[in-house]
Amino acid sequence: MCLTKSPFLSVLLGLFIWLEPGQGSLLLHMNSMIQVVEMLDEHLTVTELARGLGCCDSEFDRFLLGKAPAAPPDLPFLSQEQRSFLRHLMKHQVQASLVEQGVLLLPDGTTVAVGPLMAGIEAGLQGRREIPLPPEALEPSLVRTEPSNQTHPELPLTIDALYAVTIAKDLGVAFLLAQPNESQVRMGPNGCWDSVYEPQNFTLLGPPSRLTDAFINGALDGVILGAHLAKQAEPRAPLGTLLREYYAGDGLAGDGQARSNFRRKNFVELTEAGKLEEQVVRSLLLLRALPQTAPLFSGVGNEELLAVASQAVQEFTDAYLECPAIIPRCMWEAKPYKGTPTQLKLPLSFVYIHHTSSPSEPCQTFPECAAAMRAMQQFHQEDRGWDDIGYSFVVGSDGYMYQGRGWHWVGAHTRGFNSKGYGVSFIGDYMTTLPEAFALTLVRDNFLSCAVRGAKIRANYTVHGHRQMVHTSCPGNMLFKEIQTWEGFK
């Protein structure tokens, strides 16, 4: 679903008019890119054009994907304005003002960097998975021998190009460069668009890392789409069709779960245990063997390189694969807090489970969930006279959690106990039905363990239903029966 007020008009104008970011009419929304890509699909390989415009052209990328083709000097079906649009998207960078460039707003309310996304698609289209490492990159003490090499020692060790050009290289480098300065940000943060209806500028919420949330989203999507393309037989569907199915449709091959709002779960399902760390090690080995990047490894011993890969993958897994994706307040257009919030004293000991009751129907898309969040905040602030939406976090049926008062501020969710725990509410009425299975998983398996690792709640936390603390039917009979099976329920 497009978030523009007039999707067709906005995209149509955007194809013919381009001004600098923040001043133009071409919206930085995935639907705009899909429209351009669909125009190009009939004429050339879009990923080749993307690389010609500056995507994935490092020495590392050229080794794994081949030499980047030159961008066609003139394409009668692509205006200079459209080429400027694509060129802008292919160069991911963060300005001193914390405006992140090379990113697009998605229909699901998240933001994706185009560079790693296109790199993964290119690797998938080429079927470039296992590429032999050059002899100078091999370090026997660092490379785990594969079973095939034990049987056939003459077979070369390989690197999976799909993981390397999307996430493995950047993950390893980010943590390698941060080693001398432990206070340096390694991953994140998320950011805010100036408008969810007319997105033109995306500003980060804190100091930037090499791996912003948008970059990681792009990398995960690049792996998922690249893997999908690599196993498809020729002829493949046009790239525009692929992007539309994944970002704005029913999912790849009609599978509703194979779409961007389930990227974390789908990446985990694709990635075997230990594979990512292995690919980070091999990416660092390749970088160390390439002339342009070899100086990065001056004074870095083998044990340190292994430690960097291990730490990088562990922290990445904790933060982006095992924790739930949370939509920040700015994206659902929260109104400001009234008055001065009271800070929680962490870690907390309790989590209180709620259902909203009203709205009674689960929200299935970002626009629906964002509207429900705004409606709840308005009711809580104007009708009940509270300072803000009462819940700490809210769970949609779109694959995401939504930030209410968040991790640090006392809520208004469980009278008499607001300072003792977080209030987590499922959108919908769950007297006779249960939330979607994936929504339950987000809280039971992801949110609770994530909160423990982040020292937000104690390891021996207690889960209560709202009705245990206050005279109410909340969180509904079926949901209350469900949470009684959860670890920590008392």
The shares of helix, strand and coil residues in the chain, as percent rounded to the nearest 5, are 45, 15, 45
In this structure, the answer to whether residues 390 and 298 fall within a common structural domain is no
Q: What is the CATH number of the domain that holds 354?
A: 3.40.80.10
In this structure, the answer to whether residues 280 and 339 fall within a common structural domain is no
In this structure, the answer to whether residues 306 and 387 fall within a common structural domain is no
Q: What are phi and psi of 470, to 5 degrees?
A: -140, 150
In this structure, the answer to whether residues 45 and 183 fall within a common structural domain is yes
Q: 55 vs 116, which has greater pLDDT?
A: 116
Q: 277 vs 146, which has greater pLDDT?
A: 277
- Summarised one tens digit per residue, pLDDT across range 251-307 is 998 888 899 999 999 999 999 888 999 999 999 999 999 999 999 999 888 899 999
Nearest to 170 by CA among 279, 83, 250: 279
In this structure, the answer to whether residues 286 and 342 fall within a common structural domain is no
Q: What is the mean pLDDT of residues 399-411?
A: 98
In this structure, the answer to whether residues 21 and 66 fall within a common structural domain is yes
- Summarised one tens digit per residue, pLDDT across range 424-482 is 999 999 999 999 999 999 999 999 999 999 999 999 999 999 999 999 999 999 999 99
Q: Is 292 exposed, middle or buried (0-12, 13-18, 19+ CB in 10 A)?
A: exposed
% of the chain with per-residue pLDDT over 90: 72
Peptide bond into 107 cis (omega under 30): no
Note down the domain range covering 160. 7-321
Q: What is the mean pLDDT of residues 365-390?
A: 97
Question: What SS3 state is found at 208?
Answer: coil
In this structure, the answer to whether residues 142 and 198 fall within a common structural domain is yes
Q: What is the mean pLDDT of residues 25-31?
A: 86
In this structure, the answer to whether residues 131 and 239 fall within a common structural domain is yes
Q: What is the pTM of this model?
A: 0.90
Q: Domain tally for the chain?
A: 2
Let me know if residue 490 belongs to a domain: no
22 pLDDT band (50/70/90 cuts)? Answer: very low
In this structure, the answer to whether residues 378 and 465 fall within a common structural domain is yes
In this structure, the answer to whether residues 134 and 152 fall within a common structural domain is yes
Is 60 exceeded by the pLDDT of residue 21?
no
Planar angle of CA 352, 356, 357, nearest 5 degrees: 125
- Summarised one tens digit per residue, pLDDT across range 415-424 is 999 999 999 9
Q: Which domain-ending residue is among 321, 356, 373?
A: 321
Planar angle of CA 398, 401, 405, nearest 5 degrees: 145
Is 90 exceeded by the pLDDT of residue 197?
yes
In this structure, the answer to whether residues 221 and 352 fall within a common structural domain is no
Q: Which domain-ending residue is among 302, 321, 340?
A: 321
CA distance 174 to 48: 27
Position 47 scores a pLDDT of 78
Let me know if residue 489 belongs to a domain: no
As a dihedral over the C-alpha atoms of residue 361, residue 366, residue 370, residue 375, rounded to 10 degrees, the angle is -20
Let me know if residue 437 belongs to a domain: yes
Contact 103, 114 (CB under 8 A): yes
In this structure, the answer to whether residues 220 and 357 fall within a common structural domain is no
